[in-house]
Structure 1
């Protein structure tokens, strides 16, 4: 979003580089990861992580729609868009079309033990924690600058960030990539082995 939705600044090329490197890393490594012999946590760790992923998608989807739907029904532009001087908010577009559905679909798939959901659950939770941290930092800077009314949103995002961080650490700590030829000895993850024969 920083590469396309903020005014040109000294870090513009850094934003573009991060976006490009992330995209190409995904292109080149997604296939090998799907074919790798990976294991993932089962039981409470997996269900909790999946529930947090679903919750993030539903919560922020509800927040954005709660702002957009009343304004559209009234034939008005949401105040946040007017204040930002935008035609539309690109965060609304990207979140509602791709990011938030991905959180929900990944959580549901991981809850059901589907291979692609198990693979993507950790990255999406890490993304949630990192994005939440940046939002909280921005809100604290806004409050320090004298802007009022940021406390409720800061508390909400902080709670989401902490849940995302805790569940991502627990989930990724329970995931492992065994050495070639070695048996799977982890009882908690052996039932959710990720391989090319897993359902997708």
Structure 2
């Protein structure tokens, strides 16, 4: 049986500058849920940046700097791109639709940490609202993806580079988290990173190991096996990884602005991840040449 992504060897010559885009846009319900999640997130981030002591004053210095960095990324990167991608997806851009999934996943991930780790306060209901909106928007947007359009978009596209990157990165982060968790468990001491945030346990470890790293690994594995789900989720998984690295990269600058000790060594590995994700994502989603019959003029 011929593979659904295989290109026929008997196809006529290709023409450049043409790409197949989905003819149906993101359904209105999932579009509006995405927009509402972005708007609520913007309101929360603006409030947090304008009144940081009022919102985050009960947190440890380490967590305080981390959430300020996260608010900056939310306000200036995640929110505007979520709106832009949502509008483009609504108007029929499949590439934007697939990228939007990554921003929705990251928003859900981020606001789960806000809702469960930041002290109860004025923005609690906002964070819960963003979490719920992002989760349902992601689930709905993914379920509405047309597999035929996805197959057409990635016809003739080699997915091994993004697939292996997703697999490697998921395993790498899992190993890093276990290298902290296992020694803490064996010695009977509290989680070192949780202590620095002054919380019972590290939500990043919980969410990554239980949900998100398995999801990234599954996306890479599906892509490696040429399953449509891998093609539908690879862009989102790459974006999720890049976005998780961005606030970590920014945190030392926030700490320096507050005259606190900075961990500059984190810049190199996070910078590598951000650049690698950007390059691989561009290679993965750039317009491809498609096969089309030659015109009579061309054949003459």
Q: How high is the TM-score relative to the length of structure 1?
A: 0.77
The secondary structure found in structure 2 opposite 1:134 is helix
Structure 1 CA distance for aligned equivalents of residues 180 and 288 of structure 2: 38
Q: Which has the larger radius of gyration?
A: 2
Displacement of 1:73:
1.0
2:149 aligned to which of 37, 60, 70: 37
Aligned residue for 1:195? none
Give the Cα separation in 2 of the matches to 1:170 and 1:71: 40
**Which consecutive residues of structure 1, in runs of 5 or more, have no partner in the other structure?**
177-183, 187-200
Match 1:22 to one of 106, 130, 134: 134
* Cα pair 2:170 2:217 within 8 Å, conserved: yes
Query: Pick from 232, 235, 253: which aligns with 1:122?
Result: 235
Residues 132-151 of structure 1 mapped to structure 2, 5 A cutoff? 132-148=245-261, 150-151=263-264
Contact 1:143 1:150 (C-alpha < 8 Å) held by counterparts: no
Q: Structure 1 residues 149, 65: closer, same or farther in 2, change over 3 A? A: farther
Q: Which has the higher contact order (CA 8 A, sep 6+)?
A: 1
Deviation readout 1:84-122 (Å, 9 max, x if unpaired): 221111111000111111112211221221111111111
The answer on 1:161 being equivalent to 2:274 is: yes
- In 2, Cα distance between equivalents of 1:151 and 1:73: 29
Instruction: Please identify which structure carries the higher helix content.
Output: 2
- Supply the distance in 1 between the matched residues of 2:121 and 2:278 (Cα, whole angstroms): 30
| Residue 93 of structure 1 pairs with residue 206 of structure 2 | yes
Offset at residue 9 of structure 1 (A): 5.6
Pair 132,105 (structure 1): closer, same or farther in 2 beyond 3 Å: same
1:173 to 286, 292, 295: 286
1:59 pairs with 2:59? no
Q: Note the 1:70-85 alignment, pairs <5 A.
A: 70-85=183-198
SS in 2 for 1:4: helix
Structure 1, residues 8-35: CA drift from partner, whole Å, max 9, x if none?
4665455334323322222322222044
Structure 2, unaligned runs of 5 or more: 1-112, 293-300
